[in-house]
């Protein structure tokens, strides 16, 4: 059964797999690594443009390592999960400086790099160096769970060990790179999470889920994702041609991105005007201010958090002397700073209205 699975998968890949991506068949470990980091928690359709822009701006790992944090985070802007970008820079600089710009060609050494887990290490080592390590991601979990009829939860310790072992058993050791790409493509275009194309599937004769009508029940997850709710009130404190901003440095969402003056609350400050004015006074001290505009409520869904909030435009008569993390930024230079999508979407909206 395992041998048939592998054989049929390779046949499908050679005869019917029309999924195209610019990094398929790529042998440069830098470009493979970059594509895999971009695609972590990101759909291919969204990541494609970012990949092209990164390769154009930083064609080699040395170019990436030499770039400033602000340049790289600005290019990453909108992709989310910014820890990936931070780790990307850390690893690029480590390889450039400590390894003389040479990407490791050993699975364990690749795995030891910042921001690289077993899946990414397997992808790089098999695609670039044809090393026999199976990739195990959501697509692979789903395909193996359905085909072999496994109900062990994919998000538990036992399940991860079981699926990793099975993935390496069915791996085509002679051409691991081709096999790994094939099983990921198969999960993306045939054995999809919802409405899989079972009628087109070359594996359906032996697929336990298809034979037993378990398609919608597999794979199994045991953990329910609990989402935190947060309300962010952003104050756009402005003078004639400048605005207050700072870079987020705490271990939280949007680390290393810029934002405006923030007051986080349990609910919207608009519920009570006095509450909003009190917050502004706490932020600005004795400076006179005028609230010129208040946005409608905004919402952004992150994987583990629901972000809601609004933007309050505040004009002050006298420019504040700022210390520490805050800085005055020329309004025409805002576009050079990396902001989270929650903010950039609003800035784009008001720019179109101007």
Q: Are 153 and 221 in contact (CB under 8 A)?
A: yes
Paired residues of 329 in beta bridges: 243
* Mean predicted confidence (pLDDT) in 92-101: 97
Strand partners, 313: 236, 293
Radius of gyration (C-alpha) of the chain in whole angstroms: 25
**pLDDT for 279:** 81
Rounded to the nearest integer, the mean pLDDT of the chain is 92
Q: How far is CA 229 from CA 41, 81, 265, 269, in A?
A: 20, 17, 11, 16
Instruction: With CA atoms as reference, report the closest residue to 84 among 141, 28, 35.
Output: 35
pLDDT band at 223 (very low <50, low <70, confident <90, very high): confident
Nearest CA among 42, 164, 36 for reference residue 91:
36
Sole residue written with tokens 């987020």? 248
205, two tokens: 């004769």
For the chain, domains (ranges, CATH) are: 2-212 (1.10.340.30), 228-353 (3.90.79.10)
Which of 84, 183, 165, 82 is CA-nearest to residue 126?
183
Place of tokens 């769970």: 145
CA neighbor of 237 nearest in space, from 270, 300, 285 = 285
Percent of the residues in the chain that have a pLDDT greater than 90, as a whole number: 75
pLDDT, tens digit (0-9, with 9 covering 90-100), for 224-238 = 767 889 999 999 999
* pLDDT value for 250: 85
Range 91-112 average pLDDT: 97
Both structure tokens of 323: 């210390």
DSSP, collapsed to helix, strand or coil, labels residue 142 as helix
Q: Can you point out the beta strands (E) in 223-294?
A: 228-238, 242-247, 258-259, 261-265, 289-294
For residues 125 and 131, the answer to whether their CB atoms sit within 8 Å is yes
Alpha-carbon distance of 26 to 64, in angstroms, equals: 19
Catalytic residues: 36
Query: 296: which DSSP letter?
Result: P
Burial 80-105 (b: 16+ CB within 10 A, else e): bbbebbbbbbebbbebbeeeeeebbe
- Confidence class for position 272, pLDDT limits 50, 70, 90: low
Confidence of residue 270 (pLDDT cuts 50, 70, 90): low
Q: How confident is the model at residue 41 (pLDDT cuts 50, 70, 90)?
A: confident
User: Could you tell me which residues come within 8 angstroms of residue 294 by beta carbon, excluding any fewer than 6 positions away?
Assistant: 270, 310, 311, 312, 313
pLDDT tens, position by position, 282-294: 877 777 888 899 8
Report yes or no: 134 and 164 within 8 Å, Cβ to Cβ: yes
The rounded distance, in Å, linking the Cα atoms of 318 and 328 is 13
Q: Is the pLDDT of residue 271 over 60?
A: no
Asked which of 53-67, 91-105, 293-307 is least confident by mean pLDDT, the reply is 293-307
- pLDDT surpassing 70 at residue 167: yes
Question: What is the average per-residue pLDDT within 312-317?
Answer: 89
Q: pTM, whole model, 2 decimals? A: 0.83
The answer to whether 49 touches 88, Cβ cutoff 8 Å, is: no
Quick one: DSSP state of residue 297? Answer: P
């Amino acid at each position: 059964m395992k041998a048939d699975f592998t054989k049929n998968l390779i046949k499908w890949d050679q005869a019917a797999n029309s999924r195209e991506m610019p990094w398929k068949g790529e042998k440069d470990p830098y470009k493979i690594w970059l594509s895999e980091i971009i695609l972590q928690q990101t759909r291919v359709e969204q990541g494609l443009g970012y990949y092209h822009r990164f390769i154009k701006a930083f064609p080699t790992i040395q170019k990436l390592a030499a770039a400033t944090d602000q340049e790289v985070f600005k290019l990453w802007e909108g992709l989310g999960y910014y820890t990936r970008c931070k780790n990307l820079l850390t690893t690029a600089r480590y390889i450039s400086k400590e390894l003389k710009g040479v990407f490791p060609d050993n699975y364990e050494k690749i795995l030891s790099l910042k921001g690289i887990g077993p899946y990414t290490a397997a992808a790089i080592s098999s695609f670039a160096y044809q090393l026999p390590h199976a990739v195990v991601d959501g697509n692979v979990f789903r395909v193996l769970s359905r085909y072999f009829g496994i109900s062990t939860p994919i998000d538990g310790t036992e399940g991860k060990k079981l699926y990793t072992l099975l993935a390496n058993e069915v791996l085509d050791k002679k051409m691991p790179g081709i096999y790994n790409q094939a099983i990921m493509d198969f999960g993306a275009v045939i054995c999809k999470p919802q409405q899989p194309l079972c009628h087109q599937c070359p594996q359906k004769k032996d697929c336990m889920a298809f034979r037993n009508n378990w398609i919608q029940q597999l794979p199994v997850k045991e953990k329910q994702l609990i989402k935190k709710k947060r309300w962010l009130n952003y104050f756009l404190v402005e003078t004639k041609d400048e605005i207050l901003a700072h870079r987020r440095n705490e271990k939280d969402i949007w680390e290393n991105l810029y934002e405006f003056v923030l007051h986080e609350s349990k609910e919207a400050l608009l519920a009570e005007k006095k509450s909003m004015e009190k917050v502004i006074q706490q932020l600005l001290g004795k400076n006179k201010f005028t609230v010129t505009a208040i946005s409608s409520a905004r919402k952004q869904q992150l994987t583990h958090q629901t972000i809601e909030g609004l933007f309050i435009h505040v004009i002050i008569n006298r420019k504040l002397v700022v210390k520490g993390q805050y800085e005055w930024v020329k309004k025409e230079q805002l576009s050079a700073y990396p902001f989270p999508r929650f903010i950039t979407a609003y800035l784009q909206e008001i720019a179109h209205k101007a």
